[in-house]
Amino acid sequence: MTVKWIGKRMMMGVVVLLVVSFLSFFIMHAAPGDPATAFYGGNAQTLNAAEKERISRVFSLDRPITAQYGSWLVETLKGNLGISYKEGRPVITILRERLPNTLLLFGVTMFFIIVGSVWLGTIAGMKAGSILDKGLSILSIATSSIPAFWLGILFISFFAVKLGVLPSSGTGEIGGEGGFWDKLRYLILPATVIIFTHVGIFARFLQENIKDESRKYYVTVARANGVTEREIRKGILHNASFPYLNYIGMTIPSFFGGSIIVESLFSWNGLGQLTIKSVVTKDFPLLMGSILLIGMLVVISLFIIDFLMYSLNPKLRKGGVQ
C-alpha cells in the first residue's frame, strides 16, 4: 500500500508540474513585449523591426506557441533549461546559485512558524475562554492583516536606517568575512517579516481545532472513565494535528508567493527575486526555469506533508482514505 500511495502522489506531482508549466508558458508568451528587451533594456526602442525579427528567429520565437512549448518540454526533460537571455549563462547554473538562499529562508521561517504556532496554539487552545485564548485570536487577526511589504518597509526604516544594527538588503556570504553570522544578519529581517505575518494565523488554526476536539464526546467519556488529563490532552493534540498539517500543506503555495515579495523587498538573492527580475526583462528561459523549480519545491513540500499525515493516521494506512 505504501509503494502504491507514493506512486500515486508522484504521478499527481508530475501532472501538477505539467499543468503549471503549460499555463505559465502560454500566459508568459501572451504578455506584451518582446525578448529584445532582455538584451537591450531601455535601448530596445532603438531597434527596427528587422532586428527584432532576427532576435525572434535566433531563439525560435517565430514558431507557433505549441511548437515552442513542445521543444521546451523535450529539452527540459533532458535537463536542459536553456540559456538566459539577460545573463547569457545556462539557466540551470543560475538556479543552482539561487536555490540555497531560498531553501534557507523557507526552512528557517517554516521552522519558527511551526514551533511558535504549536506552542501558542496549544497553550491557548487548552485554556478556552481565558485571556490567552482571546488574546491569541486578536493577535492572529492583527498580524495576518498586515501586508508583508509594508511591515518590511517599517523594519528597514527602524532597524537598518534609524538604528543601523541590521543590513537593509542583500544576502551575505557564509564564506565571507563575517562567516555564518554575516549570513544570519542579512537573514533576520526578511525571516522576521514572514514569521510575524504567518505565525499568528497558524496558531489560531491549531487553537480552534484543539478547542473543537476538547468539546467532543470521546473526551467526556474518557474523563468519566478516569483517564488522566495528560492522556486526554495527548489524544486531543493527536487528533488536532491532522487538520493542522493539512492547513500547512494548503498554505505552502501562497507562502512561496508571499516570499517572492519579501525577497524582492530585501534584495534576497533567491528564486523569488529572480522570478520578478525575469518577468521585468522578459527573460523567458530563466522565468520558466524559476517557475518550474518553485513548483517542484511546492510539490515536494506537499508530498512531505501528505507522507506525515499518512504515517500518523491509521485510516490512511488501512486504505480508508486515498
C-alpha cell of residue 233 = 490532552
pLDDT, position 321 = 44
Question: Domain of 147?
Answer: 100-281
pLDDT, position 46 = 65
How many other C-beta atoms are found inside a 10 Å radius of the C-beta of residue 157?
A: 12
Whether 161 contacts 218, CB under 8 Å: no
195 inside domain: yes
Whether 94 contacts 88, CB under 8 Å: no
- Per-residue buried b or exposed e for 21-54, using 16+ beta carbons within 10 Å of the residue's own CB: beebbeeeeeeeeebbbbbeeeebeebeeeebee
**Distance between CA atoms of residues 9 and 165, nearest Å:** 46
pLDDT, position 116 = 92
Q: Cell numbers 485554556 label which residue?
A: 127
pLDDT, position 16 = 87
DSSP string for 96-151: HHHHHHHHHHHHHHHHHHHHHHHHHHHHHHHTTTSHHHHHHHHHHHHHHTS-HHHH
Helices then strands, counting H and E runs in the chain, come out as 13, 0
pTM comes to: 0.82
Q: Cell numbers 500543506 label which residue?
A: 249
65 inside domain: no
SS3 303: helix
Q: Is the alpha carbon torsion for 234, 239, 242, 243 positive or negative?
A: negative
pLDDT, position 322 = 44
271 inside domain: yes
Q: How many domains does the chain have?
A: 1
pLDDT tens track, the chain, 322 positions = 577 777 888 888 889 888 988 888 888 777 666 666 556 655 666 666 676 677 667 666 667 788 888 888 888 888 888 888 778 889 999 999 889 888 899 999 999 999 999 998 898 888 877 888 788 888 888 888 888 888 989 999 998 888 888 888 877 665 555 566 777 888 899 999 999 988 888 998 998 899 888 888 888 888 888 888 888 888 888 888 888 988 888 888 877 877 888 888 888 888 888 888 888 777 888 888 998 998 898 888 888 888 887 777 766 656 544 4
306 inside domain: no
143 inside domain: yes
Q: Cell numbers 505552502 label which residue?
A: 252
pLDDT, position 192 = 92
How many other C-beta atoms are found inside a 10 Å radius of the C-beta of residue 247?
A: 17
User: Cα dist. 277→36, 123, 158, 208, 272 in Å?
Assistant: 15, 43, 27, 40, 9
290 inside domain: no
CATH number of the domain where residue 226 is located? 1.10.3720.10
**Distance between CA atoms of residues 113 and 255, nearest Å:** 11
**Distance between CA atoms of residues 262 and 265, nearest Å:** 5
Whether 120 contacts 203, CB under 8 Å: yes
Q: What angle do CA 256, 95, 275 make, to 5 degrees?
A: 45
pLDDT, position 132 = 82
69 inside domain: no
pLDDT, position 38 = 59
227 inside domain: yes
